[in-house]
Amino acid sequence: MSTIENFLEYISLEKNYSSNTLIAYKNDLNSFSNFCLDDFNIKNIETVKYSEIRLWIVYLINQGKSNRSVNRKLSALRSFYKFLEKTSNIKTSPLASHRPLKIEKKIQMPFSEDEVFKVLNADFFSNNFKGLLERTLIYTLYFTGARRNEIIQMKYNSVDVNEQILKVLGKRNKERLIPIHDKLKTQLEIYLNERQKINNSNSETFFCFENGNKLTPEFVYQTVNFYFNKVSSKDKKSPHMLRHSFATHMLNQGADLNAVKGLLGHSSVAATESYTHTSMKKIKSIYSKSHPRGSNKSG
């Protein structure tokens, strides 16, 4: 077994990294390995120096990769070399003194509440199982704030409509419980009633196609993108934007930051705080319109 394979097995079994992360890390490590072989005839990336890594960074940037994308690839390398340090294959990581490339912070504005409810209440969903599935997906993404993959992997027995509790398995296999909103409960009941009628209703996953197959990430993305294109002019229309909207709308309504952190499954409050930037925009807007000394007040 190669060192890369040993590393991938380690982060899978010991660190509980997701399958998506495993695939990304494998691709990044193989890409770097091929670069070292083609450009420097280095057959073993355990022996590389930072100078070779720096040239790979230049190569990636010249290929049009963003700083964010390059940093993600370097994260795979950094984890790999930390593993080699841990297993005594190398003394010091060649990335020990490397600092991530600077990323210009671009705040993504969430969907407005009006945009979300235009989709939730729209009549442009097909009057068949696929249309019902798509509508219920959007309801669930928005009212739970769950990640796309968490929704896809959700088991049939993870949803207790009567108790109004939904269970998802997050990053590193951490389980969390999310309350089911009354509006979501009604939609889930409609979906479950129809789901029981399809031929392959024994599918283990809660959400499935009419043939019983599990949903794909592409289908979930395309569903959100297609329907929000009808009501929103925002550049980004993705499942994550519904998660972003869920958090921002909760904070706008005065929800406790730590409570929202728990619902989102964030490991630290710092990740949740990124959503306070957009909720602050609304607070400032209300302030300027309402405060007697606000900028929009005359006199």
Name the residues annotated as catalytic.
Answer: 147, 171, 240, 243, 266, 275
SS3 at position 166: strand
End-to-end CA distance of the chain: give it in Å, rounded: 76
Distances (CA, A) of 217 to 220, 224, 238: 5, 11, 11
Element (H, E) at 167: strand 165-169
- Sequence-separated contacts (24+) of 150-156 with Cβ below 8 Å: 150/265, 151/207, 151/215, 151/220, 151/239, 152/205, 152/207, 152/214, 152/215, 152/216, 152/217, 152/220, 153/205, 154/205, 154/206, 154/207, 155/204, 155/205, 155/206, 156/203, 156/204, 156/205, 156/206
Element (H, E) at 147: none
The residue assigned the tokens 């990323």 is 103
Distances (CA, A) of 100 to 37, 48, 69, 273: 24, 19, 11, 21
CA–CA separation, 88 vs 209, rounded Å? Answer: 48
The residue assigned the tokens 């309504």 is 253
Residue 146, amino acid = A
Longest alpha-carbon distance in the chain: 76
Which pairing describes strands 159-160 and 175-179: parallel, antiparallel, or unpaired? unpaired
CA–CA separation, 84 vs 2, rounded Å? Answer: 12
